[in-house]
Amino acid sequence: MIPGSFEYFAPTALDEALSLLQEHGDDAKVLAGGHSLIPTMKLRLAEPAVIIDIGRIGGLKGISESDGKLVIGALTTHHELESSDLVQQKVPLLAQTAAEIGDVQVRNKGTIGGSLAHADPAADWPAAILALDADLQIAGPNGERSVKATDFFQGLYETDLGDDEILTAIHVSIPDANTKGTYLKLHQVASGFALTGVAVVLTKSGDTCQSVAVGITGVSDAPYRASAVESELTGAALDAENIAAAAERSVDGIDALEDIHASQAYRQNLAKVYTRRAIESAAS
C-alpha cells in the first residue's frame, strides 16, 4: 500500500526539530531509521500529517566512552553497534544483540533510538538495555532529562517519551571483568522479531552469583526486568539446580501474550527455557 499524504520536514538542528514537534503536536511523527514508522504508514496503521526527519541532525549519532560509560547516539545504526570495536571490547552484549536484529538491510538503516522509542513488544534492544540498566537521555522543550530503562517502557508501544520530546542518547555503564552478558532469542521466522528474547548480565564471585539482571522481550505487551529471577539467583551457587529454579520465575506476575505466532502457555515456557539458557551462557 501507499502511505497517506503528509508534510515533510528535515531539520538540521535538535532545537529546530523540537520546535516543529511543539508546533504540530499530535499530528507529527519523528522519523529516524524508518524501519518502524514507514511500514505502519504503508499499511495505514499510522497516518501522520507531518513527518519530522531527524536523520540530518548532527550529534545524534556515534559511540564514545566517557566516565566509565558508553555513550551511544540515538541515530547510531544496529550495524554500527554490531561492528564497533569499542562496543565489542567494552560491552559485547550490545554487539551481540545488534547482530540478532532483522537482516543486513535492517541493521544498516535501523537505529537503536528509533527501536527504543517505538517500543515494539517483540523488539530486541529493550531486553539488553534493561539488563544493562541503561540511562536514556531525552531532550524536550524544557531541556534535557535522563530516564532509567526500567522506567522508560510503560506498555504496548508506550514509553516515558513525551509527544514533544526526542530520545537523543543511551548511556551504558561499562561492566567490570567479572561481569558477563548474553542475549538469546527465538525469532519469528518471517520477521526476525523475538517470540522470546532474554538478555542476562551476571557478575560472579567464584561459583556464586554476586548479582544478576535479566531483561525479557517478546513475552508480554512490554519488555520487563525479571526481578523474581534476579532475587532467586543472587547469592546462590551457579549450579544447574539453582539456575533452573530461578528461570522458572521468569514470568512471575506477567500476563503473557497470545497471538497467531505463539500461545500464552508456549511463550511462558519459552521464557523459562531461554532464561535458563542465557544464565548458563553468561555463567559459563
- Could you give the percent of the chain with pLDDT greater than 90? 86
- Could you give the percent of the chain with pLDDT greater than 70? 100
Architecture, CATH, for domain 7-53: 2-Layer Sandwich (3.30)
Query: 179-283: which CATH topology?
Result: Enolase-like; domain 1 (3.30.390)
Reply yes or no on whether the pLDDT at 2 is more than 90. Answer: no
Q: Tell me, what's the pLDDT at 175?
A: 95
Helix ranges (DSSP H) in the chain: 14-24, 37-42, 78-83, 85-90, 92-99, 104-109, 112-118, 125-131, 149-152, 227-233, 240-247, 264-283
Of the options 3.30.465.10, 3.40.50.720, 3.30.300.30, 3.30.70.2860, the CATH number for the domain spanning 63-173? 3.30.465.10
Q: With DSSP H G I counted as helix, E B as strand and the rest as coil, what are the percentages for the chain, rounded to 5?
A: 35, 30, 35
Least confident of 41-45, 90-94, 126-130, 185-189: 41-45
Going by C-beta distance under 8 Å and a sequence separation of 6 or more, which residues neighbour residue 188?
A: 122, 194, 195, 261
Residue keyed to cell 540530518: 56
Nearest to 46 by CA among 3, 8, 1: 3
Between strands 194-205 and 179-187, the pairing is: antiparallel
- Integer angstrom CA distances of residue 127 from 5, 93, 96, 214, 255: 35, 11, 12, 8, 17
Q: Which residues pair with 260 in a beta bridge?
A: none
Residues 147-189: pLDDT tens digits?
999 999 999 999 999 999 999 999 999 999 899 999 999 998 8
Q: Tell me, what's the pLDDT at 7?
A: 95
Q: Which residues pair with 139 in a beta bridge?
A: 144, 166
Reply yes or no on whether the pLDDT at 103 is more than 80. Answer: yes
What is d(CA 98, CA 95) in angstroms, rounded to the nearest whole number? 5
Q: Tell me, what's the pLDDT at 75?
A: 97
Q: Tell me, what's the pLDDT at 36?
A: 81
* Amino acid identity for residue 130 in this structure: L
Reply yes or no on whether the pLDDT at 139 is more than 90. Answer: yes
Least confident of 56-65, 102-111, 249-258: 102-111
Q: Tell me, what's the pLDDT at 106?
A: 87
Q: Tell me, what's the pLDDT at 71?
A: 98
Per-residue confidence band for 45, with pLDDT thresholds at 50, 70 and 90: confident
Between strands 208-217 and 153-155, the pairing is: unpaired
Q: Tell me, what's the pLDDT at 225?
A: 98
Residues 187-204: pLDDT tens digits?
988 888 899 999 999 999
Per-residue confidence band for 39, with pLDDT thresholds at 50, 70 and 90: confident
Reply yes or no on whether the pLDDT at 237 is more than 90. Answer: yes
Q: Tell me, what's the pLDDT at 128?
A: 98
Domain ranges across the chain: 7-53, 63-173, 179-283
Strand order in the sheet with 166-173: 63-66, 69-73, 166-173, 135-140, 143-148
Q: Tell me, what's the pLDDT at 22?
A: 94
Q: Average pLDDT of 144-149?
A: 98
The whole-angstrom distance between residue 59's C-alpha and the CA centroid of its chain comes to 21
Q: Tell me, what's the pLDDT at 8?
A: 94
Residues 208-225: pLDDT tens digits?
999 999 999 999 999 999
**The two domains 7-53 and 63-173 share their CATH topology (first three levels equal):** no
Per-residue confidence band for 25, with pLDDT thresholds at 50, 70 and 90: confident
Reply yes or no on whether the pLDDT at 278 is more than 90. Answer: yes
pTM: 0.95
Reply yes or no on whether the pLDDT at 4 is more than 90. Answer: no
Going by C-beta distance under 8 Å and a sequence separation of 6 or more, which residues neighbour residue 284?
A: none
